[in-house]
Amino acid sequence: MSEAREFERQGVSGVAPSTKPDPDQDVGAGASADPVRRPPGRLRRLLARPTVRVILAVFAAFLAWLSWSVGGALLAPGNDSTAARLAEWGRDHHLGPMVTMLETAQYKMSPPRVGGRPSIAIGGPQAPLATTVDPASHAPTPALPPIELAPLTSPAGDPLPGEGAWRVLSSVRGTPAIQAAELRPDATHTSYLAGVVSMDPRLVRFQLHPGTDDPGPDNWGVPPNIPPDQRAGLLASFNGGFKVNVNEARGGFFLNGVTHGTLTSGAASLVFYKDGHATVGSWDNGVEMSPDVVGVRQNLRVIVDQAAVPDDVDSHIESGWGLTIGGAYFVWRSGVGVTADGRLVFVYGPALSVRTLANLLQQAGCVEAMQLDINPAWMSFNYYQPGSDPQDPTPVKLLPDQERPAERYFEPTSRDFTAVYAR
């Protein structure tokens, strides 16, 4: 009796403990339970539910699409950096706020320096004033008198040695065709240099090229790169503007009879003509469509107008002049303008505001000018040194701290650009 009571006290009423397997365990004949190798029964029953299966199928399809989409962006032709490709992919897929947040954090960790001296040398080797032979006639063409350019005044105050002085990057028929100067952009960001380039339309011609993504593929008649058979006489190249296909540029792109976006009245416009020259102005207010126009690249509104800098360059910096890294005013910017004597001037550099960019273009003699692209991933001015093979010139960055490689436009590129050739 004492043993029975003891069993009852233990709650078994004299019956031996049950050996019936737990239904939540999956133990087959001759096998032991292994929660690592075999999911518990509850998980199996959950996975068997139709709703869960649908959710998992949708999630798997999303992951497959994400891998395909991001992979396509990363493997697209061209030499855009991984960071630039991911940022562009994010903005194209409604993730702009997240991209901006990450860029803001990056900017705060490394804002533009204040004070100091440039870490890169001012100026570089001057190109010899070689004679360029006309490839059609194989004979020299008479030289033209050079255009004398006055040295630029440093906005930072007392100039450093060589600051603001012009040097020859390329010559045609013994006359300077492309000249450049470097100078500090203002009295605060004195450790940075901006590059200023003057191009003589009597000696050079300009060719607008489309990008693979912007403005995108079409019947342009011009490739999205500079292939080897189009490098003879190549002197320089520089970047285009904001994205046309998402209306960031607030204007259109026209080339050889094809238009993407809308050519917008009042928009700042870089205009290309059949005779090879180019100019800048407000569309329908100084420049307009005509039978001689072969290309138009619009971007925002002018930042130099009738030789004056408009007051609105200081207003609505992000909403009016583009989303900058970290929402900062002083970032990499580029711009192009035209002088009273028809020279095309390109300016770019780090730690530029819209106003300091405009001031540099104005000081270089521009009577009309416009901003092009911004942020380091898109900046480029490259010039090309001729070698023994006319179709294999050596590309050189104007500013050594330019992020993009000098051979950027030898490969298909995602954004439009301008190539500059000897006449």
User: 8 vs 116, which has greater pLDDT?
Assistant: 116
Residue 132: its pLDDT value, please? 55
Q: Is the pLDDT of residue 16 over 60?
A: no
Tally Cβ neighbours within 10 Å of residue 388.
Answer: 5
Measuring CA to CA, which residue among 124, 78, 120 is closest to residue 383?
A: 124
Per-residue pLDDT band at 314 (split at 50, 70, 90): confident
> Which residue type sits at 133?
V
Tokens 């320089």 belong to which residue? Answer: 236
Encoded tokens for 362: 């104005």
pLDDT confidence of residue 254? 98
pLDDT band at 43 (very low <50, low <70, confident <90, very high): confident
- Per the CB < 8 A criterion, the answer to whether 220 and 256 are in contact is yes
Separation of alpha carbons 392 and 386, rounded Å: 7
Per-residue model confidence (pLDDT) at position 53: 77
Average pLDDT over residues 195-213: 97
pLDDT band of residue 88 (cuts 50, 70, 90) is low
Higher-confidence residue of 277 and 105: namely 277
Least confident of 11-20, 145-154, 165-174, 187-196: 11-20
Q: Residue 422: is its pLDDT beyond 70?
A: yes
**Alpha-carbon gap, residue 280 to 269, rounded angstroms:** 6
pLDDT at 371: 97
Least confident of 49-53, 114-118, 411-415: 49-53
pLDDT at residue number 297: 98
Tens of pLDDT, residue by residue over 214-255, are: 999 999 999 999 999 999 999 999 999 999 988 889 999 999
**What is the token pair recorded at 177?**
């065709």
Longest dimension (CA), the chain: 130
Residues 109-129: pLDDT tens digits? 667 889 999 988 898 777 776
The pLDDT of 129-142, averaged and rounded, is: 55
Q: Are 224 and 413 contacting, i.e. CB atoms less than 8 angstroms apart? A: yes
For the purposes of burial, counting CB atoms within 10 Å of the CB of 62, is it exposed (0-12), middle (13-18) or buried (19 or more)? exposed
CA distances from 83 to 16, 217, 294, 356, 391 (A): 69, 23, 34, 27, 32
Q: Share the mean pLDDT of the chain.
A: 84
Q: Is the pLDDT of residue 85 over 90?
A: no
Mean pLDDT score, 368-387: 94
Give pLDDT, residue 383.
97
> Percent of the chain at pLDDT above 90?
59
The pLDDT of residue 140 is 58
A 10 A CB-CB count for 350 gives 22
pLDDT at 11 over 70: no
**Which of the two residues, 376 and 265, has the higher pLDDT score?**
265
Q: What is the mean pLDDT of residues 17-43?
A: 55
State the residue for tokens 């630029």.
152
